[in-house]
Structure 1
Amino acid sequence: MQIQRIFSGAAWESKVGYCRGLRVGNQIYISGTAPIDATGGVFAPGDAYAQAKRCFEIIQQALQELNADLSNVVRTRMFVTDISQWAEFGKAHQEFLGENPPVATMVEVKSLIDPAMLIEIEVDALVNTEDN
């Protein structure tokens, strides 16, 4: 079975040994996606909503590179450093995925790779292989 991998160019990919996204048949897996700006820094430090939106923008681009879109997402996992901001994270989730709601998990974690990051999101998606 053919495996298609895509990379975002983030320095962590080569240091840690992972890819942004992977497609096997009709299954797509997008790695934990942090709120990174165009220069590799943390996007919108302290802003839970803006960081979640940025994660979904990066995820959306990765899905497109794998011939899919947000409507194909079937599961999201949100790792957050402050669960009390759940509504801000959830608002971004609803805006990007509300028309085709996936199953979702949000859990609080002690920390992420950079202390300024408030959220990291990973997704799984399924595509109709007859269409793609």
Structure 2
Amino acid sequence: MRSVISTDKAPAAIGTYSQAIKVGNTVYLSGQIPLDPVRMEMVSGDFEAQAVRVFENLKAVTEAAGGSLRDMVKLNIFLTDLSNFTKLNEVMSRYFEQPYPARAAIGVASLPRGAEVEMDGVLFIE
């Protein structure tokens, strides 16, 4: 059975997608950029502020799905500047502890709304 996951604690979809889809015990999270869920505007500030907002958005969607970031088994990270990789790891360490999810960090030319970072992932909720 497939169900749509939606929460007002994360930004509403800005395109033709759902925040997440749950199939059985697996949740597929759509990409999150650093949009403030209340104002639907990009957060101001540096890369760290953007990364924190993205993790907070992911956290909100995981909780709406009945899980938490601890249930994430795969995390995909898209960065417009790979020199932010070290800062990303530092911010990520505030949200995850071992065992960490499998992860990819991919350099891209651009992201929606001029974001510096976007993340999506997969949860497995037991």
What is the 5 A alignment of 1:49-60?
Answer: 49-60=48-59
Q: Deviations over 1:71-99 (max 9, x none)?
A: 10011100010001111111111211124
Unaligned runs of 5+ in 1: none
| SS of 1:51 mapped into structure 2 | helix
| SS of 1:123 mapped into structure 2 | strand
What is the 5 A alignment of 1:1-132?
Answer: 2-8=1-7, 10=12, 12=14, 16-37=15-36, 38-45=38-45, 47-115=46-114, 117-128=115-126
Q: CA deviation at 1:10?
A: 2.2
Identity %: 25
d(CA) in 2 for partners of 1:39, 1:100:
34
Provide the alpha-carbon RMSD of the alignment. 1.4
Change (3 A) 1:124 1:11: closer
* TM-score normalized with structure 2 length: 0.89
d(CA) in 2 for partners of 1:11, 1:86:
26
Question: If you compute each CA radius of gyration, which structure gives the higher value, 1 or 2?
Answer: 1
Q: CA deviation at 1:112?
A: 0.5
State the aligned residue count.
122
